Amino acid sequence: MRDPLILGIESSCDETGVAIVRGNELLASEVASSVDLHVRFGGVVPEVASRAHLQAIVPALERAVATADVQLEDLDAIAVTAGPGLMGALVVGVAAAKALALRLDKPLYGVNHLVGHVAVDLLDHGPLPTPAVALLVSGGHTSLLHVRDIATDIVELGSTIDDAAGEAYDKVARLLGLSYPGGPVIDRLAADGDPTAIRFPRGLTARHDLECHRYDFSFSGLKTAVARWVEQRRLDGLDVPVADVCASFQEAVADVLTAKTIDAARELGVETILLGGGVAANSRLRGLLEQRAQAAGFAVRRPRPGLCTDNGAMIAAVGVEVVRAGLEPSPLDISAQSGLPVSTVIVR
């Protein structure tokens, strides 16, 4: 059987992604980001993002088709992010995918955005040894998954109960007067700081928390602790050591994320840990996870940085896996689902 040729469309937040994949080979990936439009607001504005998707999706599709040097009629299927994400943004991508599927008479798969962050690694490193544990960390999601089969069997072990890690980065950057998005800026400044200078709290790691939230995350308290520390420093008339604050905050985030991931991998007896999502590009998170995984005997896989952030390739990669698994496509009347659970790989 030849490798399926899949078009992937992603529009869950502020990136419009269109990609074409044949099997595990990425033929084209076009991403149009609207992040510059959101900088002055300090975060993504859903209506602004939706309008940007409307303007970007057709040009991105045209560029992807030209780069891949294929005809749309040659596609085996179309995959699109059906959730989770911002509702208005999701609707743009789903509507475009429906139109293409109807016009081309091709199967449509409305797939899960979070599963895409797992599947995209296959484009870099080939089949994922399963079962595996996946830590997905992005601006809007922080999830720990047990991946038994990418197309059919994914269980969410835990997730954030308040702010996602990426959201905490943005909020801490804002209170320090740094630019948006906060992740790259804090990571860069942390390199010149002391991660042990300030002992910020590690959310949901106390014994009583672990009994109920062993694999869940919480970063709201950490964000508040940073805000109070900075405020007290200013009230005392002292300068705020920004690099030390960044390094200490980042250490607290990476410590909790990696500790719970290693705990899950050990408990489930897996051999491989996958790190995905935009925050997977964070240097301290990568370094600490690899250090702890190596000490515990686990292999770590991570997509290249360009595939960690939202993109159409990750959605096309899910499309390849569900086609290979012989799963039935989605009906043309599917709806976007902003709160789609990760256990639902395909929307019916």
Q: Are residues 197 and 249 in the same domain?
A: yes
pLDDT over 70, % of the chain: 100
CB within 8 Å of 92: residues ≥ 6 apart? 11, 50, 53, 54, 57
Q: Are residues 167 and 265 in the same domain?
A: yes
Rounded CA gap, 299 and 274, in Å? 8
Is 347 part of a structural domain of the chain? no
Q: Are residues 78 and 134 in the same domain?
A: no
Backbone phi, then psi, for 33, in 5-degree steps? -95, 140
CATH (domain of 179) = 3.30.420.40
Is 75 part of a structural domain of the chain? yes
Q: Which tokens go with 312?
A: 């159409």
Which amino acid is located at 273 in the chain?
A: I
Rounded CA gap, 276 and 273, in Å? 10
Model confidence over 122-165: pLDDT tens digits? 999 999 999 999 999 987 899 999 999 999 999 999 999 999 99
Range of the domain at 90: 5-120+311-324
Report which of 41, 84, 71, 35 is spatially closest to residue 56, judged by C-alpha positions.
Answer: 35
Q: Which tokens go with 2?
A: 């030849």
Average pLDDT, the chain: 96
At 278, is the pLDDT very low, low, confident or very high (cuts 50, 70, 90)? confident
First to last CA, the chain: 26
Using the CB atoms, write b or e for 241-261: b if 16+ within 10 Å.
bbbbbbbbbbbbbbbbbbebb
Name 112's bridge partners: 83
The pTM of this model reads 0.95
Q: Which tokens go with 220?
A: 């709201």
pLDDT higher than threshold 80 for residue 343? yes
Rounded CA gap, 283 and 286, in Å? 5
Report which of 116, 130, 132, 127 is spatially closest to residue 264, judged by C-alpha positions.
Answer: 132
Q: Are residues 9 and 94 in the same domain?
A: yes
Domain count, the chain: 2
> Is residue 257 within a helix (H) or strand (E), and if so which, with residue range?
helix 242-268
Q: Are residues 190 and 81 in the same domain?
A: no
Is 281 part of a structural domain of the chain? yes
Report which of 252, 275, 267, 260 is spatially closest to residue 159, judged by C-alpha positions.
Answer: 260
Q: Are residues 175 and 241 in the same domain?
A: yes
Q: Which tokens go with 151?
A: 């197309």
Is 340 part of a structural domain of the chain? no
Q: Are residues 67 and 168 in the same domain?
A: no
pLDDT higher than threshold 90 for residue 42? no
Model confidence over 70-97: pLDDT tens digits? 999 999 999 999 999 999 999 999 999 9
Is residue 82 a contact partner of residue 96, using CB atoms and an 8 Å limit? no
Q: Are residues 155 and 235 in the same domain?
A: yes
Rounded to the nearest angstrom, the gap between the alpha carbon of residue 322 and the centroid of all alpha carbons in its chain is: 20
- Provide the strand spans (E) within the chain: 5-10, 15-22, 25-33, 77-83, 108-112, 132-137, 142-149, 153-159, 272-276, 299-301
Q: Are residues 315 and 299 in the same domain?
A: no
Rounded CA gap, 341 and 316, in Å? 19
